[in-house]
């Protein structure tokens, strides 16, 4: 039975991507916290040998052979030893690129049972839920859990599941096709007599209605409107001819970007160009159809436009937060913030060269999104807690932390440990939205590395370094009206450096050698509580609400995003086509499904 999910209209505040009550069969617990802080990248976060609930073991062991039958009548469950052996002996490349027949049949069974309808609903939910409790789906999930639990390479099984769950055409609405426009381009007629050139917008709608607009005095004037029956190229492919039903040319246009000629030639063929690839050059004012058509492409179910935009070769990180803020507004309007976060985090952790020690160590579009979240959803934490810490540290004055050998040890100790004590108790003021992004951040990292250290590094980098540390270093950047008693370079900045050393779980050494007498206390008493606090940031218990933007802001946001795309259309087109050719990956739905499977197992809570 499918769990029917309410679909929010775009103008509703509540999102569809929040924590929902799970079906009893797939109920998953809240996150455990760590009790020790000695991190080691070899210690896994997920212990695949232990189930979170003992009832899961009972469900796995009670699977019957007839619970999962493939189309030819063969019991999949009866093939458990053979399938398990293949997962234990084959590497991921072999499982993906040259799978043996039993693996192929098993993969086909998964695709048959987990339909497009189920997958589309799953993408909207966080924490991940499989929104069905049919007998076959239940048996399939517990069979996968059994394989993972018994495998010598459990993460390989999880990675295989998270990748094969995505079929090229699983999604409902593709960005390749557009219900509003088939084609659009900016054209120019060079003048020999007049001093200036004349620019035009040409568009072809879904009903094959061709319209040509003259851009004049910041307005668009329709100069041609006709039905288009065919499109041919003239003058060695440099001119587009719009023909009527008799094959006669009604209008000829010369695109500013020559690549448009090849694209328009294919519009009415069996292999039309993907609509986003036509967005190569723009000039304002825009035709009224362009922004709605772009909105449809941007929020389409495949999310390829978004994922291509987030690639580091397409949009510049140094441009600031305007793009990420615009994207958040658009996806809040669409009720798809969960998908937005999955795309950001999936893109961030997709690089094969990423290592545990490099997590969030450099700026990216994801760290730009962090800034937007801090500004919008960190105000409660700042007003109720962080501002008080800043004022407390500032009031303490210059503690000579820049030159610790001269520091008053007892005063520094009192300020430091008081600050730490209050920080680890401040979770109540963290907003659901801040926890939402932290929860997906944790899931993305644990699926990529399954490492305690990696998860801590990610969450600490997000909240401690980039939020608390940034606010302490430069409080006036987020609160211009705050009144400070002392020069931040003498008080707040050195204290922030000391605090971040501790949040990195490092002993006080080197320039902080004068304080090394505290190391034992930190290691034994404070580090475990810090880890506990940092991991708890990812616990999402309240519904995050994302207010939709005003119509004016929505239009402005889409205009910002469109401008980013067209200013880098060459790189965008390359990345978009790469995603089309290789649609599979541990992102979006794969991240959801992999996280869902991991949730059936215990998290390690004792560090050896």
Segments making up each domain of the chain, as ranges = 46-170+588-603, 181-285, 300-335+546-581, 366-537
**Residues 493-503, mean pLDDT to the nearest whole number:** 98
Short-list 508, 601, 608, 607, CA closest to 60:
601
pLDDT at 409 > cutoff 50: yes
The pLDDT of residue 505 is: 95
Name the more confident of 579 and 554.
554
Can you list the alpha helix ranges (DSSP code H) found in 401-550? 409-423, 432-449, 452-459, 470-473, 475-478, 492-503, 519-521, 527-536
Helix (H, G, I), strand (E, B) or coil at 536: helix
Can you list the alpha helix ranges (DSSP code H) found in 239-382? 259-265, 290-298, 304-309, 322-334, 337-348, 365-377, 379-381
Write out pLDDT tens, residues 262-296: 999 999 999 999 999 999 999 999 999 999 999 99
Write out pLDDT tens, residues 570-597: 999 999 999 988 755 555 788 899 999 9
Are the CB atoms for 586 and 159 separated by under 8 Å?
yes
Rounded to a whole number of angstroms, the CA Rg of the chain reads 28
Name the more confident of 213 and 5.
213
- Side-chain-facing half-sphere of 480: CA atoms under 13 Å: 0
> How far apart are the C-alpha atoms of 169 and 603, rounded to whole Å?
34
At 328, list the tokens: 């958040």
The pLDDT of residue 191 is: 63
Mean pLDDT of the chain: 89
The pLDDT of residue 117 is: 76
> How far apart are the C-alpha atoms of 326 and 558, rounded to whole Å?
7
pLDDT at 229 > cutoff 70: yes
pLDDT at 605 > cutoff 70: no
Name the more confident of 361 and 370.
370
Q: How many CB atoms lie within 10 A of CB 587?
A: 26
Enumerate long-range contacts of 352-360, CB under 8 Å, 24 or more apart. 354/448, 356/41, 356/449, 356/451, 356/453, 356/454, 356/457, 357/457, 359/445, 359/454, 359/457, 359/458, 359/461, 360/457, 360/458, 360/461, 360/462, 360/465, 360/466
At 224, list the tokens: 């041609």
> How far apart are the C-alpha atoms of 400 and 158, rounded to whole Å?
51
Helix (H, G, I), strand (E, B) or coil at 167: coil
Confidence band for 131, pLDDT divided at 50, 70 and 90: confident
End-to-end, the C-alpha distance of the chain in Å comes to 44
The pLDDT of residue 195 is: 59
Neighbour-count burial of 353, counting CB atoms closer than 10 A to its CB (0-12 exposed, 13-18 middle, 19+ buried)? exposed
Write out pLDDT tens, residues 230-273: 999 998 899 999 999 888 999 999 999 999 999 999 999 999 99
At 563, list the tokens: 């401008």
Contacts of residue 117, Cβ cutoff 8 Å, sequence gap at least 6: 2
The pLDDT of residue 171 is: 63
**Residues 444-459, mean pLDDT to the nearest whole number:** 93
pLDDT at 208 > cutoff 70: yes
At 15, list the tokens: 């999102």
Name the more confident of 392 and 66.
392
Contacts of residue 536, Cβ cutoff 8 Å, sequence gap at least 6: 31, 33, 427
Q: How many CB atoms lie within 10 A of CB 108?
A: 13
The pLDDT of residue 227 is: 96
> How far apart are the C-alpha atoms of 45 and 34, rounded to whole Å?
10
The pLDDT of residue 420 is: 98
User: b or e along 408-430 (b: 16 or more beta carbons within 10 Å of the residue's beta carbon)?
Assistant: eeeebbebbbebbeebbebbeeb
**Residues 101-121, mean pLDDT to the nearest whole number:** 87
Name the more confident of 316 and 147.
147
Are the CB atoms for 440 and 337 separated by under 8 Å?
no
pTM over 0.85: yes
The pLDDT of residue 20 is: 33
DSSP state of 485: S
Give the residue carrying structure tokens 């910002």: 560
pLDDT at 37 > cutoff 50: no
Are the CB atoms for 603 and 335 separated by under 8 Å?
no
Give the CA-trace dihedral at 479, 483, 488, 490, to 10 degrees: -160
Helix (H, G, I), strand (E, B) or coil at 301: coil
Confidence band for 190, pLDDT divided at 50, 70 and 90: low
> How far apart are the C-alpha atoms of 345 and 438, rounded to whole Å?
10
Confidence band for 200, pLDDT divided at 50, 70 and 90: very high
Give, in words, the CATH class of 181-285: mainly beta
The pLDDT of residue 192 is: 57
**Residues 151-157, mean pLDDT to the nearest whole number:** 97
pLDDT at 22 > cutoff 80: no
User: What strands lie across the sheet with 239-243, from one edge to the other?
Assistant: 230-234, 239-243, 249-253
pLDDT at 544 > cutoff 50: yes
366-537 homologous superfamily: GTPase Activation - p120gap; domain 1 (1.10.506.10)
């Amino acid at each position: 039975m499918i769990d029917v999910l309410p679909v929010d209209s775009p103008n509703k505040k509540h999102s569809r991507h929040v924590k929902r009550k799970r079906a009893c069969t797939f109920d998953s617990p809240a996150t455990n916290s760590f009790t020790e802080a000695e991190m080691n990248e070899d210690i896994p976060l997920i212990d695949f040998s232990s189930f979170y609930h003992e009832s899961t073991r009972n469900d796995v062991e009670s699977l019957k052979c007839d619970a999962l039958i493939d189309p030819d009548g063969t019991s999949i469950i009866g093939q458990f030893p053979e399938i398990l052996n293949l997962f234990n002996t084959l590497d991921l490349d072999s499982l993906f690129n040259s799978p043996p027949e039993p693996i192929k049949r098993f993969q086909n069974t998964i695709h048959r049972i987990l339909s497009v309808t189920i997958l589309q609903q799953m993408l909207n939910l966080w924490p991940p839920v499989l929104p069905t409790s049919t007998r076959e789906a239940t048996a399939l999930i517990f069979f996968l859990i059994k394989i993972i639990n018994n495998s010598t390479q459990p993460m390989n099984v999880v990675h295989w599941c998270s990748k094969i769950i995505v079929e090229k055409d699983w999604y409902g609405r593709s960005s390749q096709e557009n219900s509003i426009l088939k084609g659009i381009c900016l054209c120019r007629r060079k003048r020999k007599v007049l001093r200036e050139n004349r620019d035009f917008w040409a568009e072809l709608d879904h009903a094959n209605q061709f319209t040509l607009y003259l851009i004049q005095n910041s307005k668009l004037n329709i100069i041609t409107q006709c039905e288009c029956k065919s499109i041919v190229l003239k003058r060695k492919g440099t001119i587009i001819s719009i023909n009527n039903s008799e094959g006669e040319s009604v209008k000829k246009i010369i695109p500013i970007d020559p690549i448009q000629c090849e694209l328009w030639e294919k519009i009415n063929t069996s292999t039309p160009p993907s609509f986003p690839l036509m967005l190569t050059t723009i000039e304002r004012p825009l035709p009224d159809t362009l922004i709605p058509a772009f909105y449809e492409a941007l929020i389409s179910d495949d999310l390829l436009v978004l994922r291509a935009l987030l690639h580091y070769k397409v949009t510049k990180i140094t441009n600031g937060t305007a793009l990420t803020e615009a994207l958040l507004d658009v996806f809040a309007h669409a009720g798809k913030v969960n998908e937005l976060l999955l795309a950001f985090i999936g893109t961030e952790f997709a690089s094969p060269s990423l290592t545990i020690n490099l997590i969030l160590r450099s700026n990216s579009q994801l760290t730009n999104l962090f800034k937007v979240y801090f500004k919008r959803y960190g105000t409660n934490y700042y007003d109720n807690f962080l501002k008080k810490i800043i004022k407390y540290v500032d009031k303490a004055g210059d503690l000579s932390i820049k030159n610790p050998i001269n520091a008053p040890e007892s005063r520094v100790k009192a300020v430091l440990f008081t600050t730490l004590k209050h920080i680890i108790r401040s979770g109540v003021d963290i907003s659901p939205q801040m926890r939402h992004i932290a929860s997906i951040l944790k899931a993305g990292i644990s699926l990529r590395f399954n490492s305690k250290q990696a998860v801590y590094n990610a969450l600490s980098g997000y909240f401690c370094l980039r939020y608390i540390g940034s606010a302490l270093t430069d409080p006036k950047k987020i609160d211009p009206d705050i009144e400070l008693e002392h020069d931040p370079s003498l008080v707040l900045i050195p204290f922030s450096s000391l605090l971040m050393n501790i949040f990195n779980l490092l002993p006080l050494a080197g320039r902080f050698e004068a304080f090394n007498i505290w190391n034992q206390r930190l290691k034994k008493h404070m580090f475990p509580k810090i880890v506990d606090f940092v991991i708890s940031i990812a616990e999402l218990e309240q519904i995050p609400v994302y207010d939709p933007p005003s119509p004016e802001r929505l239009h402005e946001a889409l205009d910002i995003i469109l401008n980013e795309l067209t200013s880098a259309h060459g790189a965008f087109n390359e990345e978009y086509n790469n995603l089309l050719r290789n649609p599979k990956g541990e992102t979006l739905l794969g991240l959801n499904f992999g996280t869902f499977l991991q949730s059936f197992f215990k998290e390690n809570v004792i560090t050896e």
